[in-house]
Structure 1
């Protein structure tokens, strides 16, 4: 495992899969400014690696993340503390814009800011006992790291209001029913199941994954006509690739394709 920046995030390179981890287990991976900057750098490095076709987001140790570091949150209103308020939104945008699909593994706990950290990921695997929710209204604020904007797009406005305005944890079964999470496993199995999910993705054509993600992400942000035009344009771009031809030739020859991202 390769440390990043100040050492509060790490990357484990596994052939076509990269595992990005929060690496502050002694503090239950509570997020500080340095940790968020390290995570951003980790994802930027992964994005630049064309050999990586899928990514996981994990927490080192027994817990995904306890959320934001409470001392940092208390001090962020002090102008003398020098807290960068843009570091968290930039991290989330970096994850959202990553060309590879990202699978978050949520074990034991992911409240408040940690919950928001998982929202720009493409898939979420959760532990059956995980504490997962947005608690900010009980702390004198509300989730403004994307929680009120990304969450309704995932689960609908009514479900999002219930999660945000009650400030209660979401039962994993309820989260699955509303489409917020994709699989539920015992917490001790979450990391391995998350890696296995990402490995399934890497069996597909990397350019197909990348272009499909771009087109899907545009679906809720653009008018239908504009989205369809983007979809057609991306599809036509793939028609001229070696992997497009390989995919169809392999199917006709009844063999496994050998994709190369070219």
Structure 2
């Protein structure tokens, strides 16, 4: 008899600031806190390389968001960049490579990060204070909110590097800015200021100076963490991205999901706190309190097949 594999066990840290990351930094809010706080800040940290994307950066981002997803102490995540840029895109000094795996087994590094963020059940806010190009901008597409410096340089530059849009961006970008603008952005491969109308729908707020971006993102994160149900915000986001594709199908799904929340911890607290005119103290979690209809979609495994240690594949030209 075959049994399902045990779920991956993650050891939650007593402090995110103490984790031995090399190319990201994770801090609590306030930073002086020795305990995990409801809002955490993840900073891309490659000071000498404009936070350019590498395999190590990919693995650290993927690992961090796996932790955030299951850590009920964390209510909201802010992603920022160290220095003058948010992220310069792929590290071109490292370059692009193939040949270490078969084409069927390859999984795009940007896509691994994007899916880790997409699957994280906590709201994530991108604080884009400076340039973000290539994977530097596509990694932000699955995030819940993006705030940016109005003159930050933004570019989907793939056609100018001889590759294609990655990190699941062909799924996310048209949904955020519309098909016409998405096609314009990737076909020209040009870099534009964040305030350009081509990005309408991508950034929920544009700020007049770089130094105002992170404080505003933290302000939003604090508001979300203090006043909203993590279960509610996650389910509403999933309903938008994983809807049945018709009004009728969505009505059936909405009905099942909301019915499963009636009388639950957060529904009860939300009503009582409103009547008592006090801040709500939401305590429900997706791990313990998700409605019976969740998940309503067919999950797709993105894991590649295991291979014997030392096996090499020849690159196909």
TM-score surpassing 0.5? Answer: yes
2:116 alignment partner, one of 89, 94, 114: 94
**Counterpart in 2 of 1:104?**
126
- Is 1:13 the counterpart of 2:35? The answer is no
Report 1:28-39 matches (<5 A): 28-39=50-61
Is the alpha carbon distance of 1:90 and 1:224 closer, same or farther for their aligned partners in structure 2, counting shifts above 3 Å?
farther
Offset, 1:99: 0.7
How far does the alpha carbon of each residue in 1:211-251 deviate from its partner, in whole angstroms, 9 at most, with x for none?
A: 222222223x6444443333222212221322211111121
Gaps of 5+ in 1: none
Q: Which structure dedicates a bigger proportion of its chain to helix?
A: 1
TM-score by length of 2: 0.75
Partners of 1:125 and 1:208 lie apart in 2 by 22
Partners of 1:6 and 1:194 lie apart in 2 by 23
TM-score by length of 1: 0.89
Is the alpha carbon distance of 1:252 and 1:49 closer, same or farther for their aligned partners in structure 2, counting shifts above 3 Å?
same
| Greater mean alpha carbon deviation, residues 189-198 or residues 104-113 | 189-198
Considering only aligned residues, what root-mean-square deviation do their CA atoms show, in Å?
2.3
**Counterpart in 1 of 2:211?**
188
- Structure of higher CA gyration radius: 2
SS in 2 for 1:57: strand
SS in 1 for 2:192: coil
Equivalent pair of 2:230/2:284 in contact (CA under 8 Å): yes
Partners of 2:245 and 2:83 lie apart in 1 by 40
Is the alpha carbon distance of 1:140 and 1:21 closer, same or farther for their aligned partners in structure 2, counting shifts above 3 Å?
same
How far does the alpha carbon of each residue in 1:90-127 deviate from its partner, in whole angstroms, 9 at most, with x for none?
A: 11111112111111111211011111111111111111
Report 1:1-262 matches (<5 A): 2=17, 4=19, 6-14=21-29, 15-74=37-96, 76-77=97-98, 79=100, 85-174=107-196, 178-185=200-207, 186-202=209-225, 203-219=227-243, 222-261=245-284
Gaps of 5+ in 2: 1-15, 30-36, 286-317
Partners of 2:88 and 2:143 lie apart in 1 by 18
Partners of 2:281 and 2:123 lie apart in 1 by 20
SS in 2 for 1:195: helix
Offset, 1:40: 0.5
Offset, 1:260: 2.0
Partners of 2:279 and 2:198 lie apart in 1 by 32
